[in-house]
Structure 1
Amino acid sequence: MSVKVLKHATIYTGDDIIDDGFVRFDDKILAVGSMDDFKNYPGDEVILATGKTIIPGFIDVHSHGGYGFDAMDGNPDEIDAMVKKMTQNEGITTYFATTMTQSNANIEKAMRGVKEAADRNPVIKGVHLEGPFISAKYKGAQPEEYIKDPDPKLLDHWNELAGGLVKLITYAPEDDHAKEFEDYCLAHNIVPAVGHSNATREQLLTSKASHATHLYNAQREFKHREPGVTGHVMLENNMYAELIMDGFHIVPDMLQLAFDQKGPERVELVTDSMRSKGMPEGESELGGQKVFVKDKQARLADGTLAGSVLEFPDAFKNAMKFTDADLYDAVLMSSVNQANEFGLESKGGIAVGKDADLNLIDNAANLLETYSYGRHFVRNAD
């Protein structure tokens, strides 16, 4: 791969802001700094990036699908094609394929399919198992007939099928079987995430959950006599909280409250997108259930929100639209925090030795171009 240099750009590295800088890279970042320190090397492809801002590539740890495909289908060709679309159209350079509550056979198929797709596509860095070890009371759009008690042996089997890719699991910590399950997760570098849960604050204080799946949504809500899941996550400073910033799942005032309480270092933007993302409005599908997409909302027949059709660049811009977050904060929430939480040492920043995962945005924070491992993508190009 030839060496490229982007120069005369504003650079948000994840640690710092360089007002007039350059990035030199092949598949890895070779140099980054101020134009005062820039050196020409023969053979480099030099690209003028005046008026553009370079930020780290986006990391989505909760996304079921998009562009007509879903990770649960277990088709490696389709998963690979879907993730390539996400990279080109959304600047997602690290992806956790997300499952849902389904039969054992369907989850096994998904694990095999994701592993095979990840063997081809290095953007796929993990699996997020959303269920089936959840609460029926807060199942949301998860089919109740497949809900199970937490089972470390079953999780171990699925993780083995996925080649050890399971990095995050959404479960209900209030279940009597949760303690052994949590111990398994921590021993295998799987982050336990409270979600689709009816847990009380008292129950959560003795749990090992360190992450909250789509804060506010499908969980015991905050009340004045019982903080519930939402209140617990707000009160525990070290917990990471996902937020779906589409303006539908959570109203802007409540997004601001979460941002104020958690701070930009503990919020992670996610899409929770489903197969109908990037597709025309109309009827779609999620876990064998009919879903109806209209006005950028995806709902079951009974009106329940069913994932989203949110694209990551919109989540990124909405973070600054719906809260007091500035661009530096949005970079933390879209990439840096995810890399820190999941130990993705080569991701989540622009520094020598990290993967050349770069997004170029304009002055209005619109995504223009993406480099993933140094490979160039222009947004929405055919």
Structure 2
Amino acid sequence: MKAKVLKHVVIYTGESKISDGYVRFTDKILDVGPVAEYQAQAGDDVEILRDRVLVPGFIDVHAHGGYGFDAMDGDPDQINTMAHKMMTNEGVTTLFATTMTQSNANIDHAMEGVKAAAAKNPVIQGVHLEGPFISATYKGAQPEQYIKDPDTNLLAHWNELSGGMVKLITYAPEDPGSQAFEDYCLSHGIVPSVGHSNATRAQMLHSKATHVTHLYNAQREFKHREPGVTGHAMLEDNMYCELICDGFHIVPDMIKLAYDQKGSHRIDLVTDSMRSKGMPEGESELGGQKVFVKDKQARLADGTLAGSVLQYPDAFVNVMRFTGCSVADAVQMSSVNQANEFGLEHKGYILPGKDADMNLFDGAFNLKTTYSFGEENHPEA
């Protein structure tokens, strides 16, 4: 297989910055380093790309849908199209297709659909099961009639239907049955994530959750006499925190507070996007509920935020703008942490042996090209 070489690019490998670098790849990264160390090989397809920035492909572990499609639709072809558009338009080279609180039959259908889609599309690397094991107090845009207590047997059933693809689950650890539920997760490679939860700090200290779903949103708030879910996430070093950096779900000052407290090594940037992402404003749908999209916000009729229409490159740029963090820190939060947390051994870095998943930006951080397993893709016009 002929190798492609990009030269004279600024490269953020996930471990270091190379100011004048090269990367040589097929479907895998073969070599990366300073241009001065590049040794030409016969057959190399060399492209000179000055004033460009190359970062690892983005990993979104919380995205319900976009471009008119949703994981809950359960249609493999549509899920594949959705994942492909997220890759080409946003640089999401690894996706956890995310479900929501719905009937058992609808979640069954979604599990089967994602499994079939992933068999054809390796961008889909997992399932994030958001609900139905959550608290009605903090249901957000999750339909209350389908909420239930943690059920290990039901989780095992869905994990089996998905082909073992459940990698992350959002649940309320204060509810009955959560300890056995958590034990199942940990023994099956599923990260337990507290979210849509009314748990107190004391209850969280007895939980095995190591991740928090959309920090600040749909959870017991941080207060001076009760830290709640948000305070627990801020205080515990082992907790990874999802941030939706659209400026609406969390105001910029609170994003900076989370960054200052957690640092770049414990934050996962997510979109929590729904089917209206990438579509014209107007009426849409989420879990059988009407959603209205206006001014880059998706809300239910009562004003409740209903997922987002956030595109991943905007999250990447926004976190730098809101916190003042470096490009390397943004790479940590968009690729490296997710690869490390979820054991994605071939993802998250531009290093030899890793999948050739990379995003090429211009100097103003406009996405120009995404390489997925070495194949070149460009955003739709």
TM-score range (shorter-chain normalised) is: over 0.9
1:142 pairs with 2:149: no
1:203 pairs with 2:199: no
Q: Secondary structure at the match of 2:169?
A: strand
Which residue pairs with 2:357 in the alignment?
357
Which residue pairs with 1:226 in the alignment?
226
Letter in 2 for 1:27: D
Which residue pairs with 2:254 in the alignment?
254
What are the Cα deviations for residues 118-144 of structure 1, in whole angstroms up to 9, with x where unaligned? Answer: 000000000000000000000000000
* Aligned-residue offset at 1:3: 1.3
1:372 pairs with 2:372: yes
Which residue pairs with 1:276 in the alignment?
276
What are the Cα deviations for residues 217-240 of structure 1, in whole angstroms up to 9, with x where unaligned? Answer: 000000010000000000001110
- Structure 2's unaligned 5+ residue stretches are none
Which residue pairs with 1:337 in the alignment?
337
For residues 308 and 83 of structure 1, what CA distance do their matches in structure 2 show? 16
Which residue pairs with 2:16 in the alignment?
16
Q: Secondary structure at the match of 1:265?
A: helix
Letter in 1 for 2:57: G
**1:132-211 counterparts in 2 under 5 A?**
132-211=132-211
* Aligned-residue offset at 1:47: 0.9
* Aligned-residue offset at 1:26: 0.4
Which residue pairs with 1:83 in the alignment?
83
Letter in 2 for 1:205: L
For residues 59 and 313 of structure 1, what CA distance do their matches in structure 2 show? 11
* Aligned-residue offset at 1:366: 1.8
Q: Show structure 1 runs of 4+ deviating over 4 A.
A: none
* Aligned-residue offset at 1:2: 3.0
What are the Cα deviations for residues 175-230 of structure 1, in whole angstroms up to 9, with x where unaligned? Answer: 12100000000000000000000000000001000000000000000001000000
For residues 318 and 247 of structure 2, what CA distance do their matches in structure 1 show? 8
Q: Secondary structure at the match of 2:208?
A: coil
Q: Which moved more, 1:143-152 or 1:320-329?
A: 320-329
For residues 307 and 176 of structure 1, what CA distance do their matches in structure 2 show? 27
What are the Cα deviations for residues 306-342 of structure 1, in whole angstroms up to 9, with x where unaligned? Answer: 0000000000000011112111100000000000000
Letter in 2 for 1:268: D
Which residue pairs with 1:327 in the alignment?
327
For residues 81 and 148 of structure 1, what CA distance do their matches in structure 2 show? 31
Which residue pairs with 1:34 in the alignment?
34
For residues 160 and 127 of structure 2, what CA distance do their matches in structure 1 show? 12
For residues 369 and 113 of structure 1, what CA distance do their matches in structure 2 show? 29
Q: Secondary structure at the match of 1:369?
A: strand
Identity of aligned residues (%): 72
Q: Secondary structure at the match of 2:137?
A: coil
For residues 121 and 194 of structure 1, what CA distance do their matches in structure 2 show? 29
For residues 57 and 353 of structure 1, what CA distance do their matches in structure 2 show? 15
The Cα RMSD (Å) is: 0.6
Which residue pairs with 1:214 in the alignment?
214
For residues 41 and 2 of structure 1, what CA distance do their matches in structure 2 show? 10
What are the Cα deviations for residues 50-76 of structure 1, in whole angstroms up to 9, with x where unaligned? Answer: 110110000000000000000000000
For residues 128 and 273 of structure 2, what CA distance do their matches in structure 1 show? 13
Q: Secondary structure at the match of 1:96?
A: strand
Letter in 2 for 1:125: Q
Q: Secondary structure at the match of 1:329?
A: helix
* Aligned-residue offset at 1:379: 1.8
Which residue pairs with 1:43 in the alignment?
43
For residues 143 and 290 of structure 2, what CA distance do their matches in structure 1 show? 12
Which residue pairs with 1:2 in the alignment?
2
**1:242-321 counterparts in 2 under 5 A?**
242-321=242-321
For residues 55 and 49 of structure 1, what CA distance do their matches in structure 2 show? 14
Q: Secondary structure at the match of 1:332?
A: helix
Letter in 2 for 1:105: A
For residues 49 and 171 of structure 1, what CA distance do their matches in structure 2 show? 45
What is the aligned residue count? Answer: 381
Which residue pairs with 1:241 in the alignment?
241
For residues 2 and 238 of structure 1, what CA distance do their matches in structure 2 show? 43
Which residue pairs with 2:128 in the alignment?
128
Q: Secondary structure at the match of 1:306?
A: coil
For residues 29 and 376 of structure 1, what CA distance do their matches in structure 2 show? 14
Which residue pairs with 1:109 in the alignment?
109
For residues 141 and 379 of structure 2, what CA distance do their matches in structure 1 show? 31
Q: Secondary structure at the match of 1:8?
A: strand
Q: Secondary structure at the match of 1:93?
A: strand
* Aligned-residue offset at 1:171: 0.1
For residues 237 and 325 of structure 1, what CA distance do their matches in structure 2 show? 19
Letter in 1 for 2:175: D
Q: Secondary structure at the match of 2:338?
A: helix
Q: Which moved more, 1:65-74 or 1:324-333?
A: 324-333
Letter in 2 for 1:115: K
